[in-house]
Homo-oligomer: A and B are copies of this chain.
Amino acid sequence: MHPRSVAFWGASNNPMRMGSVQLGELLAMGFEGPVYPIHPSEKVVMGLPAYSTVADTPGPVDLAILVLPTGVVPEILEECGQAGITRAIVVSAGFGEIGTEGKELQDRITRISRKYGISFIGPNCIGVINPRHKLNTTFYPYDASPGFIGMASQSGSFVTQMFVHLEKFGLGFSQGFSVGNEAVIDITDCIDYLGQCPETQVIGLYIEGIKRGGEFLRIAKEVSKTKPIVAYYIGGSDAGSRAGLSHTGALAGPDALYDGIFEQCGVIRAKSIEELFDFCYVLGSQPLPRGNRLAVLTNSGGPGAAAADAADRSGLDLADFSPPTIEQLKQLVPHTASISNPVDMTFARNHRDYLETLPRILLNDDQVDALFLYFLMPHKRVINSVISAMVDSSADVAKIGAKYLRGQAISAATLGHSYGKPLVGASFYTRSEPFIREVQDRGLPVLPSPERAVRALGALYRYACFRKAIEKEASL
């Protein structure tokens, strides 16, 4: 994941080739070490000097990337071994996932790798991403920032297409692995590695089937003690299991079996790819709640009620506020609104109370373990017309409006951590709205609906329960 140099097989001056696209992305990412295209005839590939064999490269090679026709992979891997290369990514497909013949070929390259001590990812994968090291071996541009989510996936798309998905929230990968058929390095190895990676705050897994059940259990449990793991497993249904088999040759088991495995080792199960990253977002950024008592703060009844309903269905209780909290709320909440939980401020009130005073009151209550905050965004036009009425006509209303929103965002975003309690927001607006961007970039997760935000808090609570049980076990 931190090579100083790369040798690349399968790129040419034909930009339609998969290999050319992948080499193009490696260069576009700005990889800083030397890159050596290996090509049987071309002298220059995509502007770089090319070499006919890896033995000819002018410097040592840390990582070999193979995007070659299936049949020549064994031979090239053999060459890599002879050249002393010990790390490789085999992108080529046509191995274990296509049946007996492919399986034999996969065994063959596995034997070659063992012989030379080559540790490789794949075959039938899309490679890896390590944005801080400017390493992107996939065919997709990584335009997101480096982030705190470590990913290991049996689908390449669920790494690469997530570049785009994570950007929607200002998130990014710390490091990401497309493990493919897992001939040598498997998803369990990745968990072990990401568990030790200091930039990784949470580990996300896409699983079609686990190969080494016992090892997975042991390592995932060890890592879960300090770092949350979230898994999206699709092999539990008949159709999902068959699709996985033809995709990566993974052997799946029934849902109940996997639920049992995940529960034993503290892995939190997600039910869709969106949920996987919703959970990673919250589990990787928020402190653990001490209990399951949620406060819901809203300026809009429907989203508040939807959050309450989702809480009930996600193992969370609505907190009963303590008497001092209720007294303080009475001072601030209009008489037409609700001070029971959900606290509904309704729309037409002081925004500073909503984004600062009220959250503080709720987070300060010992009866509250976590807070959900709904962002009903006042529209720019509304804010500007309010400001126009307050300031003299020469002032730059749009600028004051932007500054006002920014101040509000900062106060909202810095709240949760100062109380050591998790805080998650929701809004139907996206990052194209400056307020949402400001809040997200300051570390407060904002998800696209109340239900998704509360379900993620439910997942955080489930993980907190695992951590508590582990601590209890350890203290016995």
Contact = CB atoms under 8 A, between A and B. Distances in A.
Interface of A: 14-18, 21, 24, 28, 70, 93-94, 97-98, 124, 139-141, 153-158, 161-162, 164-165, 168, 206, 208, 232, 234-240, 242-244, 246-248, 271-274, 296, 300-306, 308-313, 317-318, 335-336, 338, 340, 342, 344, 346-348, 376, 379, 381-382, 385-386, 388-389, 428-430, 448-452
B336 A238 contact: no
Contacts of A242: 308, 318, 340
Nearest to A273: B449
B312 A247 contact: no
A268 to B, nearest CB: 17
A239 B313 CA distance: 9
A340 B153 contact: no
B164 A274 contact: no
Contact of A139 (B98, B318, B347): B347
Contacts of A165: 428
B247 A379 contact: no
Contact of A234 (B206, B309, B335): B309
Contacts of A450: 273
Given A246-B340, A430-B168, A300 B388 contact: no
Task: Name the residue in A139, A154, A243, A381 with the highest tally of chain B Cβ atoms < 10 Å from its Cβ.
Answer: A243
B70 A336 contact: yes
Given A164-B429, A429-B164, A451-B273, A302 B15 contact: no
B15 A158 contact: no
Contact of A157 (B247, B273, B301, B309): B301
Kindly list the 4 A-B residue pairs having the minimum CB-CB distance in the complex, ordered from nearest: A155-B302, A240-B309, A237-B312, A157-B300
A452 B272 contact: yes
5 contacts: A21-B382, A237-B309, A239-B309, A247-B338, A273-B450
A239 B340 CA distance: 11
A71 to B, nearest CB: 11
Nearest to A275: B451
A428 B153 contact: no
B386 A16 contact: yes
A239 B296 CA distance: 11
Contacts of A451: 271-274
A93 B236 CA distance: 49
A154 B242 CA distance: 43
Nearest to A244: B305
B428 A162 contact: yes
A98 B336 contact: yes
B18 A348 contact: yes
Given A139-B382, A155-B303, A389 B273 contact: no
A390 B224 CA distance: 51
B239 A308 contact: yes
Nearest to A311: B239
Contact of A346 (B16, B93, B243, B430): B93
Contacts of A379: 140-141
Contacts of A336: 70, 93-94, 97-98, 124
Contacts of A14: 389
Contacts of A232: 306
Contacts of A158: 302-303, 306
Contact of A306 (B140, B272, B312, B318): B272
Given A98-B335, A272-B451, A302-B156, A308 B243 contact: yes
A50 to B, nearest CB: 17
Contacts of A313: 237
A240 B296 CA distance: 12
A414 to B, nearest CB: 25
Contacts of A310: 272
A303 B157 contact: yes
B16 A389 contact: yes
Contacts of A235: 309
Contacts of A208: 305
B302 A272 contact: no
Contacts of A156: 300-302
Nearest to A383: B15
Contact of A161 (B376, B381, B386): B376
A264 B206 CA distance: 39
A388 B46 CA distance: 13
Contacts of A234: 305-306, 308-309
Contacts of A168: 430
